[in-house]
Copies of this chain bind each other. A is one copy, B any other.
Amino acid sequence: MKTSYRDALRAALREALAADARVFLMGEDVGKYGGSYAVSKGLLAEFGPERVRDTPLSELGFVGAGIGAALGGLHPIVEIMTVNFSLLAMDQIVNGAAALRHMSGGQFHVPLVIRMATGAGRQLGAQHSHSFEGWYAHVPGLRVLAPATLADARGMLAPALACPDPVLLFEHVRLYNLEGELAENPEAWRCDIRSAAVRRPGDAVSLIAYGGGVPLSLEAAETLAAEGIDAEVVDLRVLRPLDGETLLASVRRTRRAVVVDEGWKSGSLSAEIVARLMEGAFYDLDAPVARVCSEEVPMPYARPLEDAALPQAHKIAAAARKLVAGT
């Protein structure tokens, strides 16, 4: 069937709400407004205001309430409108949800899913456009997902809800309108939340990306293919725990890698990927791993500046080209 990333996310929510009475969705404007990115549109009418619960503007409070609700036996899905706002709730996520199992010696666990929009490209400026998922990927006790395909948008919620630990799900704003075919059969989107995926096989260079970087990398791979460079595109999918094996296997084969990350370069998740490659594939590399990240500026509003600040397919292709040429 033809679907969009947004519709796939919604279908997954609907399925989860229908399947398990313990599941509910909570967040700012998820109900009556229909979700700020329209992901939850229609769900209020279907499931009512208790299970599609609009909250006041209180990120710390309702994320913490989600943790409490999970402790109390529910399986909450909490929506935070945008990753920038999640900083208001970070204490509850990091000092609370992530630590509870360990601090309690394994007695408590927090089966909570937190969804949020991330990323730039819609000219939303410096308080609505960043990519902090790498920070969450640093935290033991959390699991962090970044669906980049229709299948993952459709398929990741179920295993996230089945996971007994807090799972953060990052939806890239540029992907919501992504459209394409998704088979009707649930097998088409059934997925684990452990492995990275090779989205395009190739042997000349590995393009390692996640979220919004995946379509860019695929586009870059097409460009490169036209020039006779056969790039492999690896979609991390799961930012924590990282699937080092898939990464290493790819790079050991291609011997070159470009890591694509919409976070600001210094200290982004891309650095961890480079470090993993240093640790596990140093002797296999023909050239130092390259990175294509966001420029280190709070995201500017103006279109040309925002474009210049972000990773782009042509930048990825250029980095890959340079790696291949240099060896």
A residues with a Cβ closer than 8 A to B are 60, 84-85, 87-88, 90-91, 94-95, 98-99, 102-103, 125-127, 134-135, 137-141, 240-242, 263-264, 266-272, 274-275, 277-279, 282-283, 285, 287-291, 296-298, 300
What copy number does this chain have within its complex?
Answer: 2
6 further A-B pairs in the complex, CB-CB below 8 A; given A98-B298, A282-B285: A60-B88, A87-B91, A99-B126, A102-B126, A271-B271, A274-B279
How far, in whole Å, are A255 and B290 apart by their CA atoms in the complex? 20
Q: Note all chain B residues with C-beta closer than 8 A to A103.
A: 125-127, 298
Known: A279-B288, A297-B140. A99 touches B127 (CB 8 A): yes
Alpha-carbon distance A141/B135, docked complex (angstroms): 17
Q: Is the CB of B269 within 8 A of A240?
A: no
Per CB-CB distance, the 10 closest pairs between chain A and chain B, nearest first, are: A138-B267, A282-B288, A274-B275, A271-B271, A99-B298, A87-B91, A271-B275, A140-B296, A271-B272, A99-B126
- A134 surroundings in chain B (CB, below 8 A): 138, 267
Give the contacting residue for A87; candidates B94, B268, B269; CB below 8 A. B94
With both beta carbons as reference points, the residue of chain B lying nearest to A141 in the complex is identified as B298
